Chains A and B, each alone.
Chain A
């Protein structure tokens, strides 16, 4: 190990200034770029959500007109998915996968640079739409035709942006798969890989399988819009429902793309702070694989109200319910990992525990929605909004916070401010529930989603949700402060930051040097 360090220091001269970031091929730099990009987009898409909650504080139209409201919800969804959660997880993968498997860098460093720099281009396309005549895209993030065919030039820009982001994701996935399969340190067999590496390997396959499907769907939209094809136009012999089938064949695996890396992060953090190895490692791997495979045969549950035959409804109901089994296995394993541990509750662990509990609640409402007749009642109501925000905010987002707090000392070399971290956690977890829990009731009572105004009986819960939303939004500024403080200074972090931490990433100094593992470590 000593020899490696000396070697590292000898080569630790790296380019500086702006061009370092533009031209970088270093996995740590690219990871950092992804993470900052995700953070900036998070605040942008979050501010759109604040406008949505402000408009919905009261019945009646207050601040925006309905067309602009639709733009807010559409862009909030598109950017949170493609601009925040996915890039943040890719940032984690870039930083951590090579460190965890003992590789000096990603397999294709130049492609890595390319796949990052496509993202800001796509983001400029999306955000720029607000300044075009007619405003941004307002057809919902699911882009259903024929509504999507009606829009103006910003709809074409959205299709372009989706193409670019898809290309970026596919290149990133190729890189991750190749790195994991070929660049593991000697002795690290597949079944010795950290869970985070496993979940990303499976996620990358999901991305490669589904992104081209989305690209195909939006290309068909584009040709329907401009070249007189009638894929989705009934008047020309097409089928609007076919778009939904194609879209959700991408869209359902996509929700697992947004959650599998979260499972990985949580599976790293809980053993560390329970000071006990992950319970049921092998069954975790198999469960992750089963979830990924099942995710391809459940897309129809997004479309129970389009009028599919009873056989179709039953097939998709049964297959959807099946996903509860491997997901349950994961939750039981996390609880068993905590059981009889020696637990401490630093901020990463707090977020991880909240993840397990609240993500499971999102899973439960998912089970409710899997039951076709109940889903038909709740389709396109706020119940669905509550469900997917429980899995994506307290699921994906909280795991990103947990991972960020967990690895910040390794990335920056400084401990983050634990007091501020805990404040961020408690404010987030409480306000998140105030924000999304009442939406279950709104949905049960029949309030449709994507409406800028609502009937009077929905007022109270909307006001509670909005207040929760404003607190949640404001709390995220604390996270920004924590990150900036840790980047600028703070207590020096040790190599093995956490007492119970295991894995190769904790064998290199903090901050992780620019070049690591130039001589591959041996894994026993």
Chain B
């Protein structure tokens, strides 16, 4: 086991080094700003850096000169002064005025960032452990956005893509040139929705809705990450925003609506065990495997095993209840709102018949539908 790990790490380093060479870049400053707010932030930071550098050079120039010249080894005799009210008053007042000079432009930016009024479009984003859900309130579409980097890349078994950890299966798509208001909330713990190039970072707080806004001019793909510790997979929760021209966006929107209409499932359809198992495995991989592991063994102590567990092999109703309603006070989320009847039925069927579990139970979507009130 240990040897395997070390070997894995070694291969990882070789592969890593190869990719390093391909992407050697020493980014020294903020990401290129793509919105007016991000531009203002960039300039504020530059302004403060100049002020700070000037102070640094003056103060520590004096200190290092003194260290060089006023040494005992050079025979310098110590002077005896130990206070000077004039000097002390001056160096209290001057910084005060420097600060006012910095506060003025910063105040203007704060007010601009807070102005979420009259948006062209509103999208609600909900943070989950560990994925984002986007709700287009006026357009009536919604979808989840999961990390799409394959597990093998994270485990150093294969070379990493250029956008390692910054890619998702379903990015947020927005039109360019429009003021987009984001309503930000969370379902379980606090997350933070952040896109550096937009100058946007807003905590997603369960039970509360906060808002922020951005307006992006250039079509393109912009990447960020969850920025508030939200548990085990905090580092694996990217934010990807794709800005399209209004025409392309309209096309995308039509496609998306058509796709959503196509996958509407008949909740009364009756499936066989094998159909449900294969459907369920997919749901399990994208929603459950992060904690319970693909092997169903969980992480001892932190996340319970499903393989041979009391819930997954015992009473069916208790199992369904756990998946639909979660377990309060733990990371086990309530999936009733996240998954469709068929998906819930499929994943429970899978869990009851995968690994060493052989209950033979087939849960039908209709059973889940009946439980929804």
Chain A residues with CB under 8 Å of chain B are: 58-63, 65-67, 70, 132-135, 138-140, 144, 146-147, 149-150, 152, 225, 233-235, 239-241, 274-283, 305-307, 309-310, 313-314, 317-318, 321-322, 324-325, 328-329, 331-333, 335-345, 353, 356-357, 360-361, 364, 367-368, 371-374, 376-377, 379-381, 441, 444-446, 448, 450-457, 459-461, 500
Option from A147, A325, A333, A361 in Cβ contact (under 8 Å) with B190:
A147
Q: Kindly report which residue of chain B lies nearest to residue A463, judged by CB atoms.
A: B20
Minimum distance in angstroms from B103 CB to a CB of chain A:
6
A282-B83 in contact given A150-B330, A234-B206 (Cβ < 8 Å): yes
Instruction: For chain B, give the interface size range.
Output: 35 or more
Q: Determine the chain B residues whose CB is within 8 A of the CB of A460 once the complex forms.
A: 20, 24-26
Q: Cβ of B106 and Cβ of A450 under 8 Å apart?
A: no
Q: Cβ of B110 and Cβ of A306 under 8 Å apart?
A: no
Does B230 lie at the interface of the complex (its beta carbon under 8 Å from any beta carbon of A)? yes
Q: Determine the chain A residues whose CB is within 8 A of the CB of B233 once the complex forms.
A: 66
User: What CA separation (Å) do A84 and B234 show in the bound complex?
Assistant: 28
Q: Cβ of B192 and Cβ of A305 under 8 Å apart?
A: yes
Does B111 lie at the interface of the complex (its beta carbon under 8 Å from any beta carbon of A)? yes
Q: Cβ of A377 and Cβ of B160 under 8 Å apart?
A: no
Q: Determine the chain A residues whose CB is within 8 A of the CB of B63 once the complex forms.
A: 335, 338, 353, 356-357
Q: Cβ of A376 and Cβ of B71 under 8 Å apart?
A: no
Q: Determine the chain B residues whose CB is within 8 A of the CB of A276 once the complex forms.
A: 78-80, 82
Q: 30 pairs across A/B with beta carbons < 8 Å? A: A60-B155, A60-B156, A144-B190, A147-B229, A150-B330, A234-B207, A283-B83, A283-B92, A306-B210, A307-B205, A337-B82, A341-B70, A343-B67, A343-B70, A344-B72, A353-B67, A368-B52, A371-B45, A373-B109, A373-B113, A376-B201, A377-B41, A377-B201, A379-B192, A444-B28, A445-B196, A451-B225, A452-B235, A457-B27, A460-B25
Q: Determine the chain B residues whose CB is within 8 A of the CB of A335 once the complex forms.
A: 59, 62-63, 66
Which of B11-19, B138-146, B173-181 lines the interface with chain A? B11-19
Minimum distance in angstroms from A306 CB to a CB of chain B:
5
Q: Determine the chain B residues whose CB is within 8 A of the CB of A144 once the complex forms.
A: 190, 228-229
User: What CA separation (Å) do A378 and B190 show in the bound complex?
Assistant: 17
Does B107 lie at the interface of the complex (its beta carbon under 8 Å from any beta carbon of A)? yes
Does B163 lie at the interface of the complex (its beta carbon under 8 Å from any beta carbon of A)? yes
Minimum distance in angstroms from A347 CB to a CB of chain B:
15
Q: Kindly report which residue of chain A lies nearest to residue B91, judged by CB atoms.
A: A332
User: What CA separation (Å) do A331 and B31 show in the bound complex?
Assistant: 33
Minimum distance in angstroms from B337 CB to a CB of chain A:
13
Option from A66, A281, A342 in Cβ contact (under 8 Å) with B76:
A342
Q: Determine the chain B residues whose CB is within 8 A of the CB of A281 once the complex forms.
A: 82-83
Apart from A59-B19, A276-B78, A328-B95: 9 A-B pairs, beta carbons within 8 A: A61-B156, A144-B190, A241-B208, A314-B110, A321-B103, A329-B92, A340-B76, A441-B27, A451-B235
Q: Determine the chain B residues whose CB is within 8 A of the CB of A275 once the complex forms.
A: 72, 78
Q: Determine the chain A residues whose CB is within 8 A of the CB of B23 once the complex forms.
A: 456-457, 459
Q: Determine the chain A residues whose CB is within 8 A of the CB of B163 once the complex forms.
A: 455
User: What CA separation (Å) do A483 and B231 show in the bound complex?
Assistant: 40
User: What CA separation (Å) do A139 and B330 show in the bound complex?
Assistant: 12
Q: Cβ of A454 and Cβ of B235 under 8 Å apart?
A: yes
Does B341 lie at the interface of the complex (its beta carbon under 8 Å from any beta carbon of A)? no
User: What CA separation (Å) do A279 and B154 show in the bound complex?
Assistant: 56
Minimum distance in angstroms from A382 CB to a CB of chain B:
11
Q: Determine the chain B residues whose CB is within 8 A of the CB of A380 once the complex forms.
A: 192, 201, 227-229
Q: Determine the chain A residues whose CB is within 8 A of the CB of B107 once the complex forms.
A: 314, 317
Q: Kindly report which residue of chain B lies nearest to residue A277, judged by CB atoms.
A: B82
User: What CA separation (Å) do A481 and B222 show in the bound complex?
Assistant: 51
A374-B210 in contact given A325-B95, A457-B27 (Cβ < 8 Å): no
A133-B71 in contact given A445-B31, A457-B25 (Cβ < 8 Å): no
Q: Determine the chain B residues whose CB is within 8 A of the CB of A61 once the complex forms.
A: 154-156
Q: Cβ of B82 and Cβ of A280 under 8 Å apart?
A: yes
A307-B329 in contact given A280-B83, A331-B59, A451-B225 (Cβ < 8 Å): no
Q: Kindly report which residue of chain A lies nearest to residue B209, judged by CB atoms.
A: A307
Q: Determine the chain A residues whose CB is within 8 A of the CB of B225 once the complex forms.
A: 446, 448, 451
Q: Cβ of B62 and Cβ of A372 under 8 Å apart?
A: no
Ranked 3 nearest A-B pairs via Cβ: A234-B207, A451-B235, A307-B210
The B1-59 residues at the A interface (CB cut-off 8 A) are 5, 8-9, 12-13, 16, 19-20, 23-31, 37-38, 40-41, 44-45, 48-49, 52, 55-56, 59
The B60-95 residues at the A interface (CB cut-off 8 A) are 60, 62-63, 66-67, 70-73, 76-84, 87-88, 91-92, 95
A338-B70 in contact given A150-B231, A240-B206 (Cβ < 8 Å): yes
User: What CA separation (Å) do A283 and B86 show in the bound complex?
Assistant: 12
The B196-241 residues at the A interface (CB cut-off 8 A) are 196, 199, 201-203, 205-208, 210-212, 224-236
Q: Determine the chain A residues whose CB is within 8 A of the CB of B190 once the complex forms.
A: 144, 146-147, 240
